[in-house]
Structure 1
């Protein structure tokens, strides 16, 4: 779920916020491994920032759930237990269902067209047997767009925070096969159709199914770093 969907044309974010987002992106792209220690001095050199800026950025990253800060030792990239990962999908399911319901109530044709385009890209990636990380990225891009269209800050924030952590684990574990991809695609088709038709309950149910299918994969295949 890229942050670009909601960023203003002029970047008014603070240096620390931009730095925290970069650290999170690097964690999600496996530049830092689960359990790895992130030292302020090393990060300051890597990102060309001051140690105070790095310290503040790490606090934001910790609030997002990617690291734990240990006094006098630094920040450590979290090791998510299998049960914690499943709990995250439960939070994500509730947030996604609420966002889908709200979006179906208020979305206009432009949102529907954008979702259709993203769905087409997802279908090409999933049915083409390409890079699975691209399938995950496109799936979460659909979720983020639905979250933005819901115009609920609380639900969107919960969806993005839980979603980023789950997307990260998706990339590390890389579960799934052609059968589960087909099931997920069908769920996305139903979800987007319900949004376009203004069917809140159907949209919420389809959103829940998307996350349930994801959770089933995690249940079948406990954490396995590749």
Structure 2
């Protein structure tokens, strides 16, 4: 009679403490990526993360595979894991897809949102406004991300959520790049306008007005597109020619 195999490290269930450490690693790694602490293309050191969070390699590998499926990390055979890249093509893909996903989720949220979900969206919006008041760039980006993710949850459509989550990764990273402390008055005005558009989106969802919600979020995306265009292609420096 064959003897049962001994449990391996891969098979052994995680202790409650290890589950908590894995959840902390998941939250921390996501935050480091969207905040640009880990830059696009940077190596994600599996061994260093294992040591930092007191986890064995298998749960760290499992988490990295999950995050690769979500779009945070790129995994290739015989190469170290890397933070997902941001290239000209990825920016182009982002601006082609983002309006479609944001409009669809926002319109569905207007049709399907519950009272409790709307109240939670309002709380996130207040945190977003607080971050603007404090010139807190990181939390401004993170709460903007949370705002649109909450709208996605309110849409109650599981087919849209993977696309929305992937778009939000790059939206947050782009925000971290160019929405640093405002350098011009019109950037301050745009921040105020973006916050006001959030309020209008909430109002449209609360009134279950899908058409208005879609129009507002389209204008919201146009504002982001203009800012990113200005960052990527700034006005050239005017240098007088010497005679």
Q: What is the number of residues matched between the two proteins?
A: 212
Cα deviation for residue 146 of structure 1 reads: 1.3
* Larger RCO, structure (CA 8 Å, separation 6 or more): 1
In 2, Cα distance between equivalents of 1:124 and 1:39: 34
Task: Give the TM-score normalised by structure 2.
Answer: 0.74
1:210 aligns with 2:220: yes
Cα deviation for residue 206 of structure 1 reads: 1.2
**Residue number in structure 2 paired with 1:179:** 189
In 2, Cα distance between equivalents of 1:93 and 1:204: 9
Decide which structure has greater helix share.
1
* 2:168 counterpart (146, 163, 167): 163
Describe the shift of the 1:98–1:65 C-alpha distance in structure 2 as closer, same or farther (beyond 3 A). Answer: same
Cα deviation for residue 194 of structure 1 reads: 0.8
1:78 aligns with 2:84: yes
Describe the shift of the 1:73–1:204 C-alpha distance in structure 2 as closer, same or farther (beyond 3 A). Answer: same
Q: Which runs of 5+ in 2 are unaligned?
A: 1-15, 234-243
Would you say the 8 A contact 1:89–1:166 is kept in 2? no
Cα deviation for residue 75 of structure 1 reads: 0.8
Q: Secondary structure at the match of 2:232?
A: coil
Q: How does 1:44-59 map to 2 (within 5 A)?
A: 44-59=50-65
**Residue number in structure 2 paired with 1:3:** none
Would you say the 8 A contact 1:41–1:51 is kept in 2? yes
Q: How does 1:10-159 map to 2 (within 5 A)?
A: 19-126=25-132, 128-159=133-164
In 2, Cα distance between equivalents of 1:18 and 1:86: 33
Would you say the 8 A contact 1:86–1:218 is kept in 2? no
CA RMSD in angstroms, aligned pairs only? 2.9
**Residue number in structure 2 paired with 1:219:** 229
Cα deviation for residue 178 of structure 1 reads: 0.5
